[in-house]
Structure 1
Amino acid sequence: MKDIHIIGVPSDYGQNRRGVDMGPSAIRYAGLKEKLERLGYEVSDLGDVPVPTPETRRIEHQKLKYLREVVSVSEALCEKVEGVLKGGHTPVILGGDHSIAIGSLAGIARAGQPFGVIWFDAHGDMNTDETTPSGNIHGMPLAASLGLGHEALTGIGGIRPKVKPENVVLVGARSIDPEERELIRQSGIHVFSMQDVDRRGMDAVMQEAIRIASDGTRGIHLSLDLDALDPMFAPGVGTPVNGGFTYREGHLAMELLAASGKLLSVDVVEVNPILDHRNQTGRMAVELLESLFGKRVM
């Protein structure tokens, strides 16, 4: 059983709503390290990637807000993730907004083995500076990791693309921007919307997602945006969208990925304690991670 190394990334540069910078603290406060240790893992917390406060910075590009800062944080995270994987450990990366996944995937790519991605999200995160309606980079990390968009984002880690589109699966999509939709169609990634989950069931969707992401790869990175769940279960997120996964659907997805034995790494993003109720979303993140790392009733 591999050791787990926790990396915090308290960054909210990828979006314009403050609070997700406190996400790593909220998840830690919910007992992540202790609960993973109870499952039999050796867990080391490597602390946080240094992130300057936004009040000390200014927006230079309206279509790529805080580009310089996002690149700096991503490069630092890339180096940490690469080191953890090359050391034979499993990185658990705590965000922060979803722009941090640019650094997560760059670090995995730098570790040197092909990998697949399951992207749990209400949104596509497939915008570029040419399609974005907001300029917020947390709507761009999947596109950037596929080599689409501004070269400052696609070139992080010195590898582009980070992952092959045929090994990328977006699960839970229910809020896609119009131009982003066309880019998704052209990209070649696989998408399971909430309609697919409703019609086919989470079991069938996840079994296929695992097959696609693991086909010809070393393993799977899970990028887990808490807004994939319905706001009833995860209210403390920056961009909630009704009609998401139920509590049990979320856990079943994690349990199936755990049972596959294919997990390489995971990032957990968009927990916003300011918008939460008594850390409900932070606790939800920890519970899902417990299932992902093998917790069972029997």
Structure 2
Amino acid sequence: MTVTLVPYHQDERLPDSSFPLPGPDIIPVTRDLPEGDVWRRVAALFELVSAEVADQVAGGSRPRVVSGDCLTSEAVLAGVQRAGVDASIVWFDAHGDVHTVRSSTSGYIGGMPLRQILGADSGLLADPLGLRPLPEDRAVLVDARDLDPAEAEFLASSKVRRCGVDDVALPDGPLVLHIDVDVIDAGDLPGLKFPVGGGPSRDAVVESVRRIMATGRVAALDIACPWKLPEGDDNTVRARLLEDLLTA
């Protein structure tokens, strides 16, 4: 099993210990990032990610991408599209990630990628990556429960499908499956940067991912790991989770 590792949270290079991946077949994607704002820097990084994903899909493989945040999903979907696959997206996340630059009160860009996939603020990442926006009804948001008012307002009037992990309503055709590990209840996964309670168990998420993978329609798997290693933790919980998700 080959895993493409993007060891960054936005434009911050993370230590390799952040990603306890199984097996030796790891393709790291790194580069010296250019000067400029964060969008220019991540666009330069994600161009390499998109190219790697496109090469793997064109070669008949299913990319498995692991990174430190959800922005990488835009590069994964762009790469799948470059390879000629018109995929919808299934988005596991405790958060909505449907802010625009204008609607975000915090300015945290990790809260924007799903909305950008749907066409918002396209000049920041989508246009540089050649990412074609998806219609809202081709996006499924799974177990999002921590929404800002602007996100809740958008979702209430949008065609984005929403569901829980036990009953995911899949769109037709090929899929990019995106999993932010913070979709798991915070009590089951220590060390999350943005923990949210009241969510599904670790095992329920893994089983849901297995069911989706078993359809044979997943063109690429994208796993975001916005976590930090708690003091004294040996990373065993994270290593087992990544292995279960990557081999689902």
Structures share fold, TM-score greater than 0.5: yes
Change (3 A) 1:144 1:176: same
Change (3 A) 1:170 1:5: same
Aligned to 2:191: 236
Out of 3, 7, 21, the residue aligned to residue 10 of structure 1 is 7
Deviates more, 1:275-284 or 1:221-230: 275-284
- Kindly state the Cα deviation for residue 13 of structure 1 after the two structures are TM-superposed: 2.1
Aligned to 2:152: 181
Aligned to 1:40: none
2:108 matches 1:136: yes
Post-superposition CA distance 1:10-48 (Å, at most 9, x none): 11127xxx7x824x6443x34x226xxxxxxxxx42222
Post-superposition CA distance 1:179-219 (Å, at most 9, x none): 12222234421112xxxx4xxxx44x12xx23x2xx1x2x2
2:139 matches 1:172: no
More helix by share: 1
Question: How far, CA to CA, are the matches of 1:106 and 1:289 in structure 2?
Answer: 21
AA matched with 1:164: P
Change (3 A) 1:156 1:235: farther
Post-superposition CA distance 1:63-108 (Å, at most 9, x none): xxx2221222222211111111111111111101111111111111
- Kindly state the Cα deviation for residue 154 of structure 1 after the two structures are TM-superposed: 2.6
Residues paired across the two proteins, number = 246
Out of 244, 256, 262, the residue aligned to residue 217 of structure 2 is 262
- Kindly state the Cα deviation for residue 235 of structure 1 after the two structures are TM-superposed: 1.6
Question: How far, CA to CA, are the matches of 1:282 and 1:131 in structure 2?
Answer: 36
| Counterpart secondary structure, 2:4 | strand
Asked if 1 retains the 8 angstrom alpha-carbon contact of 2:77 and 2:87, the reply is no
Question: How far, CA to CA, are the matches of 2:31 and 2:230 in structure 1?
Answer: 24
AA matched with 1:245: P
Change (3 A) 1:111 1:186: farther
| Counterpart secondary structure, 1:260 | coil
Structure 1: segments with no counterpart, 5+ residues: 35-43, 61-65, 293-298
Change (3 A) 1:48 1:159: closer
Report matched runs for 1:37-116 at 5 Å.
Answer: 44-50=25-31, 52=33, 60=37, 66-116=38-88
Asked if 1 retains the 8 angstrom alpha-carbon contact of 2:70 and 2:180, the reply is yes
Asked if 1 retains the 8 angstrom alpha-carbon contact of 2:43 and 2:129, the reply is no
Structure 2: segments with no counterpart, 5+ residues: none
Question: How far, CA to CA, are the matches of 1:133 and 1:57 in structure 2?
Answer: 26
Question: How far, CA to CA, are the matches of 1:129 and 1:67 in structure 2?
Answer: 12
Identity level (%): 28
Question: How far, CA to CA, are the matches of 2:127 and 2:155 in structure 1?
Answer: 20
| Counterpart secondary structure, 2:78 | helix
Aligned to 2:206: 251
In the superposition, the TM-score normalised over structure 1's length comes to 0.75
Change (3 A) 1:185 1:76: farther
| Counterpart secondary structure, 2:125 | helix
- Kindly state the Cα deviation for residue 262 of structure 1 after the two structures are TM-superposed: 1.6
Question: How far, CA to CA, are the matches of 1:83 and 1:230 in structure 2?
Answer: 35
Please give the root-mean-square deviation of Cα atoms over the aligned residues, in Å. 2.3
Change (3 A) 1:108 1:275: farther
AA matched with 2:189: A
Change (3 A) 1:257 1:50: same
In the superposition, the TM-score normalised over structure 2's length comes to 0.89
| Counterpart secondary structure, 2:75 | helix
2:175 matches 1:220: yes
Change (3 A) 1:278 1:271: farther
Post-superposition CA distance 1:250-295 (Å, at most 9, x none): 12202211321222111111242334732123432222222x2xxx
AA matched with 1:8: L
- Kindly state the Cα deviation for residue 51 of structure 1 after the two structures are TM-superposed: 5.7
